[in-house]
Amino acid sequence: MRIIGHFIDGKRVDGISSRTGDVFNPNTGEVQAKVAMGTPEELDNAVKGAAAAQIEWAKTNPQKRSRLMFAFKEKVEVHMNELAELLSSEHGKVLADSRGDVMRGIDVIEFACGIPHGQKGEHTHGAGPEIDVYSMRRPLGVVAGITPFNFPAMIPMWMFGMSIATGNACILKPSEKDPSVPMRLAELFVEAGGPVGLLQCVNGDKEIVDSICDHPMIKAVSFVGSSSIAQYVYACATASGKRAQCMGGAKNHGIIMPDANMDQAAKDILGAAYGSAGERCMALPVVVPVGEGTAEKFLESLIPGLEAIKVGISTDPDADYGPVVTRAHKKSIEAGIDKAVEEGATVLRDGRGFTLQGYENGFFIGPTLLDDVTPDMDTYHEEIFGPVLQIVRADTFEQAVALPSEHQYGNGVAIFTQNGRAAREFADRVEVGMVGINVPIPVPVSYHSFGGWKRSAFGDANQYGMEGLRFYTKVKTVTQRWPEGETRDSAFIIPRF
């Protein structure tokens, strides 16, 4: 069976531990590979190699760093289909979603190509008598990125693209569920001319995460995953004196105002709730129709589209979404549906027990729609992270603002309306980090930044954009004066003209 090791000092290497994890084919339910669980010793070797490479890389001028980002971007574009197929084979996304995963990563690499402008410092001439002050943004050194299973191309590129462009070296710890795409990206980085050791990929589980948080040479940690682990990583990393940006879970709401274009809202929410089998932290798993009769009008538009959703294998070009990532995750999603029913939710469409002919052992779940969900239900408060849409009815606009504002998560929210004043007030008042107005998945473009509030994010720095640039750099400020007069060493006298 294929064994996935690590990518250290420019090449794939075998793991030294006997511990491995299963990498499934979600379409068939079969184990297709084993991934090595790294050890603290392997991490230390990777960090030392990265530190050695970073010394010279930090001296490299920003134009050359930019050119490397351009070259890497071109490599990824050339290998787009290969990466998408590899991603789908381990994650289960349909190929169109996998290509989108890669493209959103490329967007951040494109932003990193502009690093000569972004990393400029500031200058004040004549801050005092013959005194000038200037600042520079210097790299931190070796940093680490710990990435989740649901975006194995995009999120690694969020992290190593910005960190390397700013002059750092990066240790990447991918999800053990689908590690092959990050490994391939590391290879393409070297093929594009990246210095050996600058991007290292160490696979593993909690043991490697803890080692990253504890390692004295790692200066910053970026994490995306569940909120409980995000909080844990943030606490461990900061206790070790590191910078940390740790993005957690979400329960994003879609507010449907009575004046919304119901057909468009239904179409948007179908994609946002069920696309990629709901395995997205910016998915939209809660819809909030506001006012009497709004839910019924919305459902009239939603149900026909819901019934037309096709679940298929990840290589089926006609499939809207594929299987979820593992058997354990499938069971977790179905348990969430069970719990919602126990709590009193009404099942309008039930995806439990869904099977696909010829792929009966695959990790498939049909689209599920739950009505009469209330804010006191545990399944409203917790992530289900699957193809499950919950309807929570609100009587008033005030209730619609309060629901996402008072929720434990604050990643994203969307409002569907034709009333500009209502949309503006909602965007201003709602306690959520990313807001969409008639946009169901409000993920910011690469030259802004990504980040939620409350238990959706720990730390005070967002991902990518200028926020990412600031996270991976530290400011050095120089105050200088050159007084007139001779020095003791005439060799240093500057002639006057």
CB-side neighbour CA atoms (13 Å) of 354 = 22
Neighbours of 117 (CB within 10 A): 9
* Tokens read off for 444: 């910011």
Mind giving me the DSSP string for 337-381? Answer: HHHHHHTT-EEEE--TT---TT-TTS-----EEEES--TTSHHHH
Edge-to-edge strands, sheet with 123-128: 123-128, 131-139, 473-481
17, with CB counted inside 10 A (0-12, 13-18, 19+), is: middle
Assess whether 281 carries a catalytic annotation.
yes
In angstroms, rounded to a whole number, what is the distance separating the alpha carbons of residues 23 and 31?
A: 6
Closest C-alpha to 266, from 234, 232, 305? 305
Q: 47, 215 in Cβ contact below 8 A?
A: yes
Residue 426, both tokens: 């909602």
Residue 215 and residue 240: Cα distance in Å, rounded? 8
Active site residue: 113, 236, 246, 281, which one? 281
Distance in angstroms (rounded) separating the CA atoms of residues 379 and 372: 12
Q: 124 has which bridge partners?
A: 133
Helices 262-274 + 294-307 axis angle, to 10: 50
Q: Which residues are catalytic?
A: 281
